[in-house]
Structure 1
Amino acid sequence: MPALIMGTGNYSMVEFWKFTIPQYFIRLLALTAGALILFPV
């Protein structure tokens, strides 16, 4: 998706970040949840 957006050039960086930042936070939350499940504090 990000490669497609940057490849076309018709999208602004704001639209690009609208897709990238939510995916980054979802991945971060998933990794944190997985770490807590595997290694309880």
Structure 2
Amino acid sequence: MANAPGEVKAHADYVTTSNDDDGVARVLERFLIETIRRKTIETK
């Protein structure tokens, strides 16, 4: 999350927007939904 302390963000693989700017939703959209789409395509 963008509003995390700098030390935490420095160790993160990915930093999203703050929780006030829908950061959790953006992460879910970016990673979870893409994974679901790929799995769906693979099974067809």
TM-score between both structures, scaled by the size of structure 2: 0.44
| Structure with larger Rg | 1
Q: Which has the higher helix share?
A: 1
TM-score between both structures, scaled by the size of structure 1: 0.46
